[in-house]
Amino acid sequence: MAHHAALSPSRAKDFRQCPLMFRLRVIDALPEPPSLEALRGTLVHSVLEHLFDLPREERTNAAAQELLEPRWHDHVAKHPADAALFADEAEFEEWFASARPLLATYFQLENPQNLQPRARERFVNATLPSGLHIRGIVDRIDVSPSGAIRVIDYKTGKSPTPRFQESALFQMRFYAAALFLVEGTLPLRTQLLYLKDGRTLTYDPVAADVDSIAMELDSIWSAIEERLDSGAFETKRGPLCSWCAFQRYCPEFGGETPDIDAAGIEKLRTAHA
C-alpha cells in the first residue's frame, strides 16, 4: 500500500472552509486540543464496526450497548492519554452514557440482522486521471445478492439543514468516485446515518459524478498548489470560526501565524505525482 500524501474528503472540506486552517492543520500539523465529541464518535463507530462480528440474530441494541465498555477499554489500551481527558469519574460517566442513545437510534434506522457487510472501515486509496491521489475510510460497504453496492457512513451529530446538505453529500460523492476508480463499479446508493436525530441522507450516484468530483478535486488541488508556491494561505472568516482550535495563530483574532513548515509543503506535494 502506498504511503504518499493524498487529499481526503475532510482535508478538501478544510481547505474550502479556510485555507489558513488547512495549512495549520495539514502542512504545519500543529497540535489541536482533544475533542470529547470526536472521541465519542470514535467509540460509537467502533461499536458499530464490531457489532457485525456477532451472529445475525445477536445484533441487537442490547448487544451494542454491551460492546461499549470492551470497545472503550480496547481504545484506551491503544491510546492511554484519552483516559486522562476527563476531570473526574462523574464527567467520564456522563460522557460514556451519552453514547448509549446514539447506538439506540441506529437500530431505528436499519436492522443489522438483515445485513452482511462486505467491508467495514474500508481504506480506499485511488488516483484521479490527473495523477492526484485521493483516499478515505468508508465506514461500511454492503453488496446485495444482485451485486449492487451501498456505501454507509455513520454520523454522531445532527443532520444538516437543506442549505448544508450538498456539503455533507460531497463526502459520499467522493467515496463513490474513489470506489469506482479502484473497483470499476459505481455504488448504487450512498447513505449518511445521523444518530443524533435519527435521519438518513440518501444520494444515488450517477456516472457523471466520477468526472465531476475529479474536476472539483483537481480544482481544489490547483488552488492549494498556488498557495504552496506563494506560501500565502488566507483566512476565510465564517460561523465555524468560533470552534476553530487555531484562533491564537489567526490574524482575524489578533493571532500571529508561524512560518510555514517546509517539510510539510514537500510532503503535501506528493499528493500529485
pLDDT at 126 over 80: yes
**pLDDT tens digit sequence for 175-206:** 999 999 999 999 999 999 999 999 999 999 99
How much of the chain, in percent, has pLDDT values that exceed 70? 98
* pLDDT recorded at residue 164: 85
Instruction: Give me the mean pLDDT over the 93-118 stretch.
Output: 97
Instruction: Give me the mean pLDDT over the 105-134 stretch.
Output: 96
* pLDDT recorded at residue 4: 66
The model carries a pTM of 0.92
Instruction: Give me the mean pLDDT over the 26-52 stretch.
Output: 96
* pLDDT recorded at residue 2: 46
**pLDDT tens digit sequence for 74-94:** 999 999 999 999 999 999 999
Region 118-212: CATH code: 3.90.320.10
* pLDDT recorded at residue 5: 79
* pLDDT recorded at residue 62: 98
* pLDDT recorded at residue 3: 53
**pLDDT tens digit sequence for 225-262:** 999 999 999 999 998 899 899 999 999 999 999 999 99
pLDDT at 123 over 50: yes
> Domain residues of the chain, as ranges?
36-113, 118-212
CA 219 to chain centre: 21
pLDDT band at 268 (very low <50, low <70, confident <90, very high): very high
How much of the chain, in percent, has pLDDT values that exceed 90? 90
